[in-house]
Copies of this chain bind each other. A is one copy, B any other.
Amino acid sequence: MPFFKMDFHERAIFSLILPPMKIALAQLNYHIGNFESNKEKIIRAIQKAELEQVDLVVFAELAICGYPPLDFLEYPHFISRCLESMEDIATHCKTISAIIGGPAVNPDPKGKNLFNAAFVLSEGKIKQIVSKTLLPTYDVFDEYRWFESNRTFNCIELNGVRIALTVCEDLWNMDEDPLYTFWPMEELIRQQPVLMINIAASPFNYKHNDDRKSILEKNVRQYQLPLIYVNQVGAQTDIIFDGGSVIYDEKANLLKELNYFEEDYFICEFDVAKSKIQIEDSIIVAKNEEVKMQRIHQALTMGIRDYFSKMGFKKAILGLSGGIDSALVLVLAVQALGKENVHAVLMPSEFSSDHSISDSLDLVKNLGCSHEIIAIAPMYNAFIESLKHDFEGLPFNVAEENIQSRIRGTTLMALSNKLGYILLNTSNKSELSVGYGTLYGDMCGGLSVIGDLYKTEIFVLCNYMNSVKEIIPKNIITKPPSAELHPGQLDSDSLPSYTILDTILCSYIEHANGPDQIIAEGFDAALVNRILKMVNMNEWKRFQFAPILRVSPKAFGRGRRMPIVAKYLG
């Protein structure tokens, strides 16, 4: 019997009799396709909750296999493994219930074969399956690639409580220019639920947490129900899930915010008679005043740490040029992996300035990691000698510059291959945008750590990190940026100031503005046209680049798919 049908008086009586429903939020870090490890993690949380008399534990979207499983979903064998795992877990849900995300088979031969579903496990079995209706297919998301959109709507009922259970995007169609033509909560609300639960895999970017809370609050205000929201945490290659699961009361007050960038677990009580959520500890202060840079810092270290731990790697290597980019990556790597696991390689050439070496050595000393110096001259001279017939009479140009960069890439990869290091890439978003980098040279590496940060953001981040504890030598931050590939070279020789460059790039890349709009923002027309042309013409380089830890709303990589052979603004 659903309790919402009782009048106030009856409720008051029941309130005295009925114990509250205890609901646990399990915010975990999953490993894609690692069914044993995910299952074990989930069962451990269920068993812990059971000991604490919890009635229901809620896990994230596609928790069973980790999000995003991408085209593994096209493998029937993979789907079977998901279902076997779910059934195993169900046998642990006899006196407790669980909600766990996983792919479900679409019984209808029409439409795609899968749903992105929330499985309700209870009484030792899969009791109900609730599927996702709104399938994000934009930016880094491809859900309509694998899933059919759900069109049947049923609340679930656990411990006599009627719950509107939805999956992530199903709560997100609240915009004035709505992306979808359907509103799942409008269907569910007709069945008069008393609580909303949403399971999510909502990735971090530096503005996403605000967007997320704003959307969740809009839902609570619209439907006037308390909301429990459980997100995934942990990095999945380039995509970083920040956790931050939340509980709202029916007035859209934030009752609880789980930790960011780490696993977390929390129990709340749902007063069955009053249809209200209770939190044992007093109402906490929301952490949303955390600064952008602090979050980016946490995201990047988690991104490195999870890449290594989930791949089974321990040790990182990188080339330390004396510039700010590689300095920042080195600090992040040491913070993520420990100084004993990070090796810095200095590879000076005849064009390297003295301070490049001395600044690098200062940084290495501050960090306490290992380093070595390998001069590239012998290899460079060998190449130039071998190519002299072809290069004869032609001026020094990008060819010689790139040889230097590729010798460095090859040297780092040789150490990586011989000694078991993983090479971290140090390119930034500004240079990736305009193609100011050498493919197979400084663009080498298994993971791009700061490829989603513009140069100007890198300065801000370094200053922020130095403000916490001074690690990066001041000179590295203050000297003019240079690739040091020919005598006296400075970035400013061939590029505008980074303040101007980054503003134009951000307008084009993040805001999808065209040249006319960007020029109207007050920039020189020839400069704007030149920059946009450079961005478009260098798609072929970015296509072959490493996965980039995503921290902005529009990162290069999976989230931005552009033709290589094209002639638009180029």
Contact = CB atoms under 8 A, between A and B. Distances in A.
A383 B415 CA distance: 11
B77 A307 contact: no
B390 A372 contact: yes
A180 interface: yes
A64 to B, nearest CB: 12
Given A77-B514, A111-B179, A378-B385, A310 B565 contact: yes
Interface stretch (A123-131, A206-214, A259-267, A402-410): A402-410
A7 to B, nearest CB: 39
Contact of A379 (B75, B310, B379): B379
Interface string A364-400: 0000000010111011011101110111001001110
Contact of A71 (B32, B407, B514, B562): B562
Nearest to A513: B77
A318 to B, nearest CB: 15
Contacts of A180: 110-111
Interface centre among A391, A411, A566 (most CB of B within 10 A): A566
Interface string A305-320: 0110011000000000
A391 B410 contact: no
Given A34-B566, A137-B144, A137-B145, 19 more contacts: A31-B565, A33-B569, A34-B567, A70-B562, A77-B515, A78-B514, A109-B176, A137-B142, A310-B567, A378-B385, A387-B414, A399-B414, A406-B414, A409-B440, A410-B440, A446-B540, A543-B547, A547-B564, A558-B561
Interface of A: 31-34, 37, 66, 68-72, 74-78, 80-81, 108-113, 135, 137-138, 142, 144-145, 148, 176-181, 235-237, 306-307, 310-311, 372, 374-376, 378-379, 381-383, 385-387, 389-391, 394, 397-399, 402-403, 406-407, 409-411, 413-415, 417-419, 439-440, 444, 446, 512-517, 540, 543-547, 558, 560-570
